[in-house]
Amino acid sequence: MPRQDTDTIRALHGLEHSSSSVRLRAALAVGTTPDPRFIGKLIERCAIEPEFSVREALTWALTRHSASMTVPKLIDELRSERAQARSQALHTLSKIGDRQAWPAITRALLSDADDEVARSAWRAAVVLVPEGGESELAGVLVTQFGRGGRETQLSLSRALIALGEMIMPIVRAAMTDLDPRVRQHAIATERLSLDPDAGFEFAVEEAKRVVALGRTGQEG
C-alpha cells in the first residue's frame, strides 16, 4: 500500500480515537495536508465531537480545503436533526466566509430552538449577509430579543452591533415592546453599542433600571 494511503487511513482512524489528544493531533494533521478524501469524515466528526478544542481543529481543517467542495456539504448539514451538526456547520461556514452560503442561513436557523444553533446562525449571518441586506437581517434578529441567558443575549447583541449603526432604529423600536424582557434586551444592546467598554453586565443592569422606571433608552 502506498505511503500516502497508509497516512490517510491512520489520520482517519485518529479522528475516531478514544483519546481527545489523539483526535486533536489527527485533525491538525489533516488540516496541514488537505485532502478531499477527508472532508466527509471531518464534517461527520464535527456533528459528534464532544471536545471544544477538537471541534475547533476540525473546523480549521475544513477551512483548509476548497470551499467549492466543503460549502455544499456543510449546507447539507444545516438540515440535520442533530443540533451540534447544525451549530458546527454554521460555525464552519462563518469561518470559511463564502457568501454563496448566505441563502442557506434561513429564518428557521436564526430562530432555532437550540440556543447554540441560533448563536452560531447569528454569527454566520453577520459574516455572510450581502451588502444591503443588513436591515432585513436585523429585522429578523430583533425577533429573538429576550431569549436565553446572558451568553445568548450577549451573542445576539454583538451580532446586531456588528451590522453597523443602521440597525439602531430597529433596535430602538423594540424598546417599546410589550414584553419587558424584550425591552430590557433592546435597551442593553443600545447601551452596549454606545459604550462597548462598559461591558454587557453593566448594560443589562442599566436596562433593568430603565425598564423598571418605565422609560425608554433615550431618556435618563
Q: Which residues of 169-193 are buried (b: 16+ CB within 10 A; e: fewer)?
A: ebbbebbebeeeebbbbbbbbbbbb
Give pLDDT, residue 10. Answer: 80
Count CB neighbours of 57 within 10 A.
24
Q: Residue 47: CA atoms inside 13 Å, Cβ hemisphere, count?
A: 17
Tens digit of pLDDT at every position of the chain (220 positions): 345 566 677 878 899 999 999 999 999 999 999 999 999 999 999 999 999 999 999 999 999 999 999 999 999 999 999 999 999 999 999 999 999 999 999 999 999 999 999 999 999 999 999 999 999 999 999 999 999 998 999 999 999 999 998 899 999 999 999 999 999 999 989 988 888 766 666 556 666 666 666 655 444 3
How far is it, in rounded angstroms, from Cα 213 to Cα 150? 22
pTM equals: 0.87
Name residues whose C-beta falls within 8 Å of residue 108's C-beta, 6 or more positions apart in sequence: none
